[in-house]
């Protein structure tokens, strides 16, 4: 319990740059926390989060592993810093957006963020420690939604639930798209090539007439997208429907 408390406190101090080590400079300090975090993000983008270790990161920034701990105490804190730094990348939300445009942009930003940094999907999303990046983004989202709702009476819980709903849908779809890319790379086959193999095999294996509706729909979808589906189409269709429902809520 004490170790967990210390870890949370150290995470908060580093996120908000209140830790003494972030301010040191001079011959003994070859880099800083911001540079370390940027290097960690680059490493995760290229190799995946699983390969981001204190040792691999130290090698990337030209430090001995033990020296890296003077900037970031452990990997958990490092990942929290990485996530918050990515959140800072979110563009400002335009003040002239209507409600539908506002919701769409919030969802688009979450999806694009995960597509740019697929390793974010490996980070537990529950109970994150708010830093300046995530706090800035959340404040902007709430302000934009409040402006867009205008005179409509929308309570605080609803505002938060709208953002959570948009995020859940957008990141779920982004994971589908990431899985699609990963499967292409692992198999060496694109969706059309895969369907050319899987389609006839399924036609031979499945009992004729046993699943008439799914067979019809699956064939139609397969012919349209040359594969089992299309993540981008699912996103556009699903987001339009989700926003329509949220606007009426």
**pLDDT tens by residue, the chain, 249 residues:** 556 667 888 899 999 988 655 544 445 567 899 999 999 999 999 999 999 999 999 999 999 999 999 999 999 999 999 999 999 999 898 888 999 999 999 999 999 999 999 999 999 987 788 999 999 999 999 999 999 999 887 999 999 999 999 999 999 999 999 999 999 999 999 988 988 888 889 889 988 889 999 989 988 998 898 888 899 999 999 999 999 999 998
- Determine the CATH number of domain 90-247: 1.10.357.10
Q: Which residues contact 70 (CB under 8 A, 6 or more apart)?
A: 21
Closest by alpha carbon to 19, among 59, 84, 69, 86? 69
Fold of 1-86: Arc Repressor Mutant, subunit A (1.10.10)
Spatial separation of the C-alpha atoms in residues 21 and 17, rounded to whole Å:
9
Domain ranges of the chain: 1-86, 90-247
- DSSP, collapsed to helix, strand or coil, labels residue 184 as helix
Which pTM does this prediction carry?
Answer: 0.89
């Amino acid at each position: 319990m004490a170790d967990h408390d210390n870890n949370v406190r150290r995470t908060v101090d580093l996120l908000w740059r209140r830790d003494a080590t972030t301010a040191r400079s001079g011959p003994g300090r070859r880099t800083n926390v911001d540079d370390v975090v940027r290097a960690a993000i680059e490493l995760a983008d290229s190799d995946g989060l699983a390969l981001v270790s204190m040792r691999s990161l130290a090698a990337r920034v030209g430090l001995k592993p033990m020296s890296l701990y003077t900037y970031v105490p452990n990997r958990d804190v490092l990942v929290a810093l990485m996530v918050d730094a990515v959140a800072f990348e979110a563009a400002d939300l335009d003040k002239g957006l209507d409600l539908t445009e506002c919701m769409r942009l919030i969802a688009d930003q979450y999806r694009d963020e995960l597509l740019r940094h697929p390793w974010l999907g490996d980070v537990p999303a529950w109970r994150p420690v708010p830093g300046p990046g995530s706090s800035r983004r959340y404040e902007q989202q709430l302000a934009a939604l409040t402006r867009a709702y205008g005179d409509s009476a929308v309570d605080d819980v609803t505002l938060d639930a709208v953002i959570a709903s948009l995020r859940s849908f957008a990141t779920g779809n982004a994971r589908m798209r990431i899985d699609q890319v990963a499967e292409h790379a692992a198999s060496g086959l694109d969706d059309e090539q895969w369907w050319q193999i899987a389609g006839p095999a399924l036609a031979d294996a499945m009992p004729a007439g046993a699943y008439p509706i799914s067979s019809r729909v699956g064939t139609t979808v397969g012919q349209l997208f040359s594969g089992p589906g299309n993540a981008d189409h699912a996103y556009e269709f699903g987001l339009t429907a989700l926003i329509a429902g949220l606007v009426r809520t």
